[in-house]
Amino acid sequence: MYDVQRERVTKTNKPFSDADKLRRRANQQLAQQQPSVSGIEMDAKKLLHELRVHQIELEMQNEELLIAQTEVEASLERYTELYDMAPVGYLTLDCFGAIQQINLRAARQLGIFRSQLKQQRFSSFISVDSLPIFNDFLSGVFVGRTAQSCELTLLPVDRSPTLIVQFEAIANDDDQTCRVILIDITERKGNEEKLKLASLVYQAIGEAIMVADADNRIVTVNPAFMELTGYTLQEAVGQSTTLLKSGHENEAFYQIMWHALKTTGHWQGEIWNRRKNGEIYLEWLTINTVYDDQSKVRHRVATFSDITDQKHAEQTIWQQANFDSLTGLPNRHMFYERLEQEMKKSRRMGLPLALLFLDLDHFKDVNDTLGHGKGDLLLKEMAQRLLNCVRNTDTVARLGGDEFTIILAELHEQDSIERIAQDILWQLTKPFELAGEIAYVSVSIGITLYPEDTDNIDALIKNADQAMYAAKDQGRNCRHYFTLSMQEAALTRRRLINDLRHALAERQFYLAYQPIVELKTGFIRKAEALIRWQHPSRGLISPADFIPVAEATGMIIDIGEWVFREAAQQAAQWRRKHHEQFQISINKSPVQFQKEDNGHLAWFEYLRELGLPGESVVIEITEGLLMDAGALITGQLLAFRDAGIQVSLDDFGTGYSSLSYLKKFDIDYLKIDQSFTRNLAPNASDLVLCEAIIVMAHKLGIKVIAEGIETQEQCDLLIAAGCDYGQGYLFSRPVAADEFEKLLLAG
Total of residues contacting ligand C2E (CB under 6 A): 24
- Among the listed ranges 186-194, 290-298, 371-379, 704-712, the one in contact with Mg ion (CB under 5 A) is 704-712
- Among the listed ranges 315-323, 512-520, 654-662, 700-708, the one in contact with Mg ion (CB under 5 A) is 700-708
Decide: 386 and 441 in contact? Cβ < 8 Å.
no
| Among the listed residues 26, 383, 530, 621, the single contact to ligand C2E using CB under 6 A | 530
| Among the listed residues 342, 465, 651, 724, the single contact to ligand C2E using CB under 6 A | 651
| Minimum separation from the CB atom of position 632 to ligand C2E (A) | 18
707 CB burial (10 A radius; 0-12, 13-18, 19+): buried
Which residues have C-beta within 8 Å of that of residue 184, sequence separation ≥ 6?
88, 89, 109, 163, 164, 165
| Minimum separation from the CB atom of position 427 to ligand C2E (A) | 37
Q: Which does 543 bind (CB under 5 to 8 A by kind): Mg ion, ligand C2E, none?
A: ligand C2E
| Minimum separation from the CB atom of position 421 to ligand C2E (A) | 34
Taking residues 575 to 614 in sequence order and writing x for each that binds Mg ion by CB under 5 A, - otherwise, the string is ------------x---------------------------
Which residues have C-beta within 8 Å of that of residue 244, sequence separation ≥ 6?
229, 273, 274, 275
| Among the listed residues 126, 531, 584, 672, the single contact to ligand C2E using CB under 6 A | 531
| Minimum separation from the CB atom of position 395 to Mg ion (A) | 43
- Among the listed ranges 81-89, 304-312, 536-544, 629-637, the one in contact with ligand C2E (CB under 6 A) is 536-544
Q: Which does 717 bind (CB under 5 to 8 A by kind): Mg ion, ligand C2E, none?
A: none
Q: How many CB atoms lie within 10 A of CB 661?
A: 17
Interatomic CA distance for residues 377 and 384, integer angstroms:
11
| Minimum separation from the CB atom of position 659 to Mg ion (A) | 18
Decide: 299 and 290 in contact? Cβ < 8 Å.
yes
| Minimum separation from the CB atom of position 591 to ligand C2E (A) | 8
Residue closer to ligand C2E by CB (options 122, 603) is 603
Q: Between vectors from CA 318 to CA 314 and to CA 320, what angle results, nearest 5°?
A: 115
Residue number of the CB closest to ligand C2E reads 728
Decide: 137 and 182 in contact? Cβ < 8 Å.
no
Q: What are phi and psi of 127, to 5 degrees?
A: -65, 155
Q: Which does 531 bind (CB under 5 to 8 A by kind): Mg ion, ligand C2E, none?
A: ligand C2E
Separation in Å, CA 285 to CA 250, 273, 493 = 16, 10, 58
Interatomic CA distance for residues 440 and 541, integer angstroms:
39
| Minimum separation from the CB atom of position 571 to ligand C2E (A) | 14
Decide: 670 and 648 in contact? Cβ < 8 Å.
yes
Q: Which does 631 bind (CB under 5 to 8 A by kind): ligand C2E, Mg ion, none?
A: none
Residue closer to ligand C2E by CB (options 446, 590) is 590
| Minimum separation from the CB atom of position 738 to ligand C2E (A) | 18
Q: How many CB atoms lie within 10 A of CB 275?
A: 15
Residue closer to ligand C2E by CB (options 89, 560) is 560
Taking residues 568 to 607 in sequence order and writing x for each that binds ligand C2E by CB under 6 A, - otherwise, the string is -------------------xxx------------------
Ramachandran class of 602: left when φ > 0, alpha when ψ lies in -120 to 50, beta otherwise: alpha
Q: Which does 729 bind (CB under 5 to 8 A by kind): ligand C2E, Mg ion, none?
A: ligand C2E
- CA neighbours within 13 Å on the CB side: how many for 293? 0
Range 629-658, binding Mg ion (CB under 5 A): 650-651
Decide: 531 and 511 in contact? Cβ < 8 Å.
yes
| Minimum separation from the CB atom of position 620 to Mg ion (A) | 4
| Among the listed residues 128, 438, 544, 631, the single contact to ligand C2E using CB under 6 A | 544
Residue 674 binds to ligand C2E (criterion: CB under 6 A): yes
| Among the listed residues 620, 623, 668, 724, the single contact to Mg ion using CB under 5 A | 620
| Among the listed residues 16, 440, 510, 729, the single contact to ligand C2E using CB under 6 A | 729
Number of residues that this document lists for the chain: 747
Residue 543 binds to ligand C2E (criterion: CB under 6 A): yes
Residue closer to Mg ion by CB (options 324, 620) is 620
Q: What is the 3-state secondary structure (H, E, C) of 256-291?
A: HHHHHHHHHCEEEEEEEEECCCCCEEEEEEEEEEEE
Range 687-716, binding ligand C2E (CB under 6 A): 707-710
Q: What are phi and psi of 647, to 5 degrees?
A: -125, 135
With CA atoms as reference, report the closest residue to 667 among 692, 638, 690, 689: 638
- Bridge-based pairing state of the strands 703-706 and 725-726: parallel
DSSP three-state, residue 132: helix
Q: What are phi and psi of 309, to 5 degrees?
A: -65, -45
Interatomic CA distance for residues 681 and 255, integer angstroms:
91
Note the residues at the interface with Mg ion (CB under 5 A).
587, 620, 650-651, 707
Note the residues at the interface with ligand C2E (CB under 6 A).
514, 530-531, 542-544, 547, 560, 563, 587-589, 620, 650-651, 674, 707-710, 727-729, 734
